[in-house]
Structure 1
C-alpha cells in the first residue's frame, strides 16, 4: 500500500503531510505515557518485525503494492501512540534507504499507516475487548479482529485520497476494486499473523503487552501463604 511519488496531486500530498506531522506530534506526547522500561525494548522489536514484514511486497495494480501493515499489531503490543511512532520510523527508513514509497508521498503513507491503520486497529481492539470476557486468552483474539478490520479500512482511506487528488491514469473503480479485493485477503493473513504473534507474547510475558494491561489490572491478586500444619 506504499504510495509512490506523483500518484496524488500536490495539494493532497501537502494536506496529508500536514495531517501526518500533526499526528506524529500527538503521538510523541502520548508515547510518554506508554513508554517505560518494558515498552521501550518491545517498541524496537515491533519496529524491526514490521519493517521486515513490509519488505515483502507484491503488486496490487494501478501502481500500488500490497503487504502486511502491522498497525493493529503495533498498537496492541506497545500502545497506539508508540505504535504510530514505530510505523512512522519504518516508513521513513523504507522511503529514504529502500525507495519503498515516495519521498513526496511520505506524509500520505504516514497518514495511512501510522494514523489510520494504527488508530483503527486500536479502536477495534478496545471495542472487541469490551465485548469479550476479560481474560488474557481473549487478547490475541481481539488483536486478530482488529488487524482484520484495519487493513481494508486503510485501503478505503487510500481510495478516498485517490478520489480527491488521484493523478494516475486509472479509473477510481479500478483502484477501488484492486485495493479492496487484495486487502481483504491481506487482512485475513494479517489477522492470523497478529493473533499468533500477540498470543505468543501473552503466553510467555503478558506484562509486556500493552493491550493486556487492563486485563492484568482487573485480575484479583493471589496471596499465597505457607505455614506448618500439625
Structure 2
C-alpha cells in the first residue's frame, strides 16, 4: 500500500468510492455557494495565488522514513489566507488537476481525497485557527504558532479520514491497525514539516500585507508586525 494521502484506485471498494464521491460533490456545491460572500478584490487574487502555490509544493516530496515520503497538504495555508469555503475549493482544484494530468491519486478515489484534504483538513485547520485567533492577533509569534498548530492538526485529521474510509470499505490486503499506525504516525511527522512551512508562509504574507490574511480581518487590537502597528482590514 502506498503511503500517500492521495488515495489510489482500488484501495477502497467501488461503493465506498461512490459514496464519498457524492459527499465531495455535495460539499463542493455548498462551498461554491458560501464562497461567493468571501470573494472580493483581496480574496479572489489570493485564492489564485494560494492554489498555484499549493499545487507547486504538493509536487515536491520530502523523505520521512526509508521508503516513505510526504508533501504539503496546504489546508492550513488556504484556510488562514482565504477562509475555509474558498480554501476548500482551492484544494479541490489542485486535487482534480493532479489526478487528471499527473495521475497523482486515482480518478475513482478522487472523492475520498477531496473529502480528506479539501474538507476535513481545511475545516480542521480553520477551526483550530478560530480557537487561537485572539492569540494570533496579539503578535507575530502568536500568528506563527497558530499557523503551525493548525497545519499539524490539519494533516493528522486528514490522515484519520483516510483510515476511516479504509475501515468502511477497504479493498486492500493490509490490516486496519497497520493502516492506522502508518498513516497517522507518518503524517504526524509530515504535519511537523507542514507546520514549519505554513508558519513561514503565513508569516511572510502577514509581514507585508496583513490585510490579505483572512484570519486577521477585523483585528482588534491592531496586529503587531515587525515592530509597527497595522490595522486589520474590516470584514
TM-score (norm 2): 0.87
Aligned length: 219
TM-aligned CA deviation for residue 18 of structure 1: 1.1
Aligned partner of 1:94 in structure 2 is: 98
Is 2:131 aligned against 1:135?
no
Cα separation, 1, equivalents of 2:136 and 2:212: 20
Match of 2:152, SS?
helix
Is 2:8 aligned against 1:4?
yes
**Aligned 1:29-48 pairs, distance under 5 A:** 29-48=33-52
Is 2:144 aligned against 1:123?
no
Aligned partner of 1:114 in structure 2 is: 118
Aligned partner of 2:233 in structure 1 is: none
Cα separation, 2, equivalents of 1:129 and 1:53: 26
CA offsets 1:70-109 (integer angstroms, 9 cap, x no match): 0011110111111001001000100000000100011111
Match of 2:172, SS?
coil
Is 2:211 aligned against 1:207?
yes
Aligned partner of 2:181 in structure 1 is: 177
Go from structure 1 to structure 2 and tell me whether the alpha carbon gap of 1:10 and 1:65 turns closer, same or farther (over 3 Å shift): farther
Is 2:81 aligned against 1:68?
no
Unaligned 5+ runs, structure 1: 223-230
4+ aligned runs moved over 3 Å, structure 1? 57-61, 217-222
CA offsets 1:164-221 (integer angstroms, 9 cap, x no match): 1000111111111111111011100011011110001001000111111032x55499
- Given that 1:139 and 1:212 are in contact with CA atoms closer than 8 Å, whether structure 2 keeps it comes out as no
Aligned partner of 1:163 in structure 2 is: 167
Cα separation, 1, equivalents of 2:162 and 2:47: 26
Structure with higher Rg: it is 1
- Given that 1:112 and 1:154 are in contact with CA atoms closer than 8 Å, whether structure 2 keeps it comes out as yes
Of 142, 148, 170 in structure 2, the residue corresponding to residue 144 of structure 1 is 148
Unaligned 5+ runs, structure 2: 224-228, 231-235
Go from structure 1 to structure 2 and tell me whether the alpha carbon gap of 1:112 and 1:74 turns closer, same or farther (over 3 Å shift): same
Match of 2:160, SS?
helix
Is 2:17 aligned against 1:17?
no
RMSD of aligned alpha carbons: 2.3
Go from structure 1 to structure 2 and tell me whether the alpha carbon gap of 1:57 and 1:8 turns closer, same or farther (over 3 Å shift): farther
TM-score (norm 1): 0.89
Of 82, 87, 97 in structure 1, the residue corresponding to residue 86 of structure 2 is 82
- Given that 1:16 and 1:111 are in contact with CA atoms closer than 8 Å, whether structure 2 keeps it comes out as yes
